[in-house]
Amino acid sequence: MAIIYHESSKIFHLYNDTVSYIMMVMKNGHLGQLYCGKKIHDKEDFTYLLEKAGRSMTSYLYEGDRTFSLEHTRQEFPVYGTTDYRQPAVEVLQENGSRISDFQYVSHCIRAGKPKLEGLPATYTETDSEAQTVVITLQDVVTGMRAELSYSIFEEGGVIARNVRLVNNGTASVHLTQAMSLCLDLPDCDYEWLQFSGCWARERHIRHRRLVQGTQAVGSMRGNSSHEHNPFMVLKRPTADERQGEVLGFSFVYSGNFLIQAEVDAHDVTRVLVGIHPSCFDWKLESGASFQTPEAVLVYSDQGLNGMSQTFHRLYQKRLARGCWRDRERPILLNNWEATYFDFDEEQLIGIAARAKECGVELFVLDDGWFGERRSDRAGLGDWTANPRLLPGGITGLAERMEEMGLQFGLWFEPEMVNKDSDFYRRHSDWILATPGRSQSHGRYQHVLDFSRKEVVDEIYRMMSGILREAKVSYVKWDMNRSITECYSAALPADRQGEVFHRYILGVYDLYERLTAEFPRVLFESCASGGGRFDPGMLYYAPQGWTSDDSDAVERLKIQYGTSFCYPLSSIGSHVSASPNHQLLRRTPLHTRANVAYFGTFGYELDLNALTGAEITQVKEQICFMKKYRRLLQFGTFYRLQSPFEGNETAWMTVSEDRKTAIVGWYRVLNHVNGNFARVRLAGLRPDYRYRSVSDGRICYGDELMYLGLITSDDTASETGMDVKSCGDFESRIYVLESVE
């Protein structure tokens, strides 16, 4: 890994074993983009890559020169309106109403490691040898604005992390109306665009299309990163697939409004922008003030989509998630939400917990409904004290009883919200986000607290930390169940209302930072009506997230498959729930529900007392299996093998670091009559190792399993399926392969 600056050609070359990223200071002082792709040799001069073209109806920068136009130049930090007409990386609204600026190179500084981003989540290094960073300072002379463009290249994988810090060194205030974290101009548009979109209970479904001239984008203006679109996008070469080919992944380490877009111009040049959504964003920068953008992470892989995902997994598991839970196997939990909803009391909870303990569950999680007058979603949010009628000994008493039973105890909060019917709101009715004179729209009868205000965050911190200090709580589920409307802060002046969305998220991060610092042993799980804020920003504070409110095993195939493109299995909250399923009334076999949930954090979302004796035996076996293979399932190298978006069957697998053990999950949605012979080609094994399948004892070489495949056809590939018990719809199997070397 190195970052080299060639003085003679003014070229920066960032490279490691996988990727090269080359930029240069151009004639006009701006930073040009020369190359981003597979690692190439370094040399003194790459200026030939700065292709120029004189074209009609083009505007040129220099009098008498018909070659240099920013419109036809690939750039790193472009502005609009000085010969470039595409969407810019930055826009500065000045006192005189102008939005024109001209950011020219001033200096740069190369250092080992990676500096922290103040107040924002970001990837990090533990030793300086893991990454190098170059900060390139540009300046706009007229306004005195400085832009510090930061690029960190990691030693491992094709990873480049970027952010921008903008400093107003001028004398007048300006308004930042666009401040993107990443801009990358690619020389062609021969890519397929993959986005991860959906809605509540249907998150991160893969959508793909060819890039075409014009603008394609995903984003959120909801205040949370959203169920609708994830702050993640992939460009892959059309010939690339899961196992081979060139892929670029773009991930935004942020939990609020975002925009990821690709603009393809008339000459098929592609400009990718990643950053805070410019709509609703307007940040006033007074003289001397600065603005830090969140981090964007770019991953290049020539090993296909799995290669890209594995790079994200390693990075986000080891150098984005933090704390003592980062590397630890996650507790098998039982959450009471789908078991009781709001209808419970302490004895009922103890009854559920006792059965869970008997089955081998390690952590009992008390979900919504334990506080204030919260007997439905209409009241009580904000009153973070236990309801004594339900829990006579309070949270402290309940947690103690759980501990006596040998269970850890976890608790649900929704810190950012209030119901109007709550004592909290009656005390602080002016603490919600609301625009004067306008309607106050609700979501699930709740309103959003103004987390842009420190006193609001302080008060919520006081209440939450009080409980966490007093009671033995080892896990917190942090929920967020509505998006923001009528966004306006009573504490900010008119010309700062465009800052509220971002200040809100900074407030959320601040509360997370304080709580995780004070309670480092508590495992945090993020949640936003399921997967409405499943993003890298959250992962920095909470190493796992509730992936979706849809707990149906079949739906989860798509949701977890899509989620795995960016996020590691250790972050994917996945539970076994009741049948028929509560979201869509589908009946699936208990083993299939577990076979899906194993590939994540694993737990139960149902009352085990409602199961039959035979089912309880099965649950006990499932928990034993999970405990035995949990490290491999949560921290192994994950491969997607067969996509639920492309057919009736899904397969994925995880492989241990020494490649001696692998677990394959195979799932079929609908059964066939007289079906085909079927095989799944595995991945990641050692070709020369022999692997024994634990279920049938058959021994095969790794190369057999990878090149000709694992045979998955069953008795339905014949004329009688009647006497075969487990070959119906929603069938699944787990194959454990152990090396006999």
Task: Enumerate the active-site residues.
Answer: 479, 549
Could you tell me the smallest distance in angstroms from the CB atom of residue 435 to ligand GLA? 26
Beta carbons of 538 and 557 less than 8 angstroms apart: no
End-to-end CA distance of the chain: 35
Closest to ligand GLA by CB, 76 vs 203, is 203
Beta carbons of 147 and 164 less than 8 angstroms apart: yes
Closest to ligand GLA by CB, 294 vs 369, is 369
CA gap 260, 289 in Å, rounded: 27
Tokens at 25, concatenated: 């200071």
Nearest in space to 577 (alpha carbons), one of 221, 390, 333, 303: 333
Closest to ligand GLA by CB, 365 vs 500, is 365
Q: Report how far Cα 382 is from the mean position of its chain's Cα atoms.
A: 27
Give residue 620's region: left, alpha or beta (phi > 0; psi -120 to 50). alpha
Closest to ligand GLA by CB, 584 vs 724, is 584
Closest to ligand GLA by CB, 482 vs 640, is 482
Could you tell me the smallest distance in angstroms from the CB atom of residue 162 to ligand GLA? 32
Could you tell me the smallest distance in angstroms from the CB atom of residue 481 to ligand GLA? 5
Find the DSSP H helices in 587-740. 590-597, 613-635, 702-703
Q: How many CA atoms lie within 13 A of 727 on its CB side?
A: 18
Q: Report how far Cα 33 is from the mean position of its chain's Cα atoms.
A: 27
Tokens at 141, concatenated: 């002379």
Could you tell me the smallest distance in angstroms from the CB atom of residue 352 to ligand GLA? 16
Could you tell me the smallest distance in angstroms from the CB atom of residue 571 to ligand GLA? 16
Could you tell me the smallest distance in angstroms from the CB atom of residue 647 to ligand GLA? 30
Strand-strand pairing, 408-413 and 363-366: parallel
DSSP code at position 232: E
Angle, alpha carbons 142-146-150 (nearest 5°):
150
Closest to ligand GLA by CB, 68 vs 342, is 342
Distances, alpha carbon 394 to alpha carbons 275, 413, 421, 556, in Å: 44, 15, 22, 35
Paired residues of 443 in beta bridges: 446
Q: Does the N-terminal peptide bond of residue 687 adopt cis geometry, omega within 30 degrees of 0?
A: no
Identity of the residue numbered 565:
F
CA gap 251, 256 in Å, rounded: 13
Angle, alpha carbons 700-706-708 (nearest 5°):
80
Could you tell me the smallest distance in angstroms from the CB atom of residue 429 to ligand GLA? 23
Q: Given the rule CB under 6 A, which residues bind ligand GLA?
A: 337, 367-368, 412, 479, 481, 527, 529-530, 546, 549
Which helix (H) or strand (E) segment is 186 a member of?
strand 174-186
Could you tell me the smallest distance in angstroms from the CB atom of residue 502 to ligand GLA? 25
Identity of the residue numbered 211:
L
Find the DSSP H helices in 360-453. 394-404, 423-427
Closest to ligand GLA by CB, 306 vs 336, is 336
Tokens at 733, concatenated: 């199997």
Closest to ligand GLA by CB, 305 vs 418, is 418
Could you tell me the smallest distance in angstroms from the CB atom of residue 605 to ligand GLA? 8
Please give the backbone phi and psi of residue 118, each rounded to the nearest 5 degrees, phi first: -60, 125
For 618-654, the DSSP string reads HHHHHHHHHHHHHHHHHHSEEEEEE-TTTSSEEEEEE
Closest to ligand GLA by CB, 223 vs 275, is 223
Closest to ligand GLA by CB, 293 vs 547, is 547
Nearest residue to ligand GLA by CB is 368
Identity of the residue numbered 403:
E
CA gap 136, 148 in Å, rounded: 6
Could you tell me the smallest distance in angstroms from the CB atom of residue 393 to ligand GLA? 23
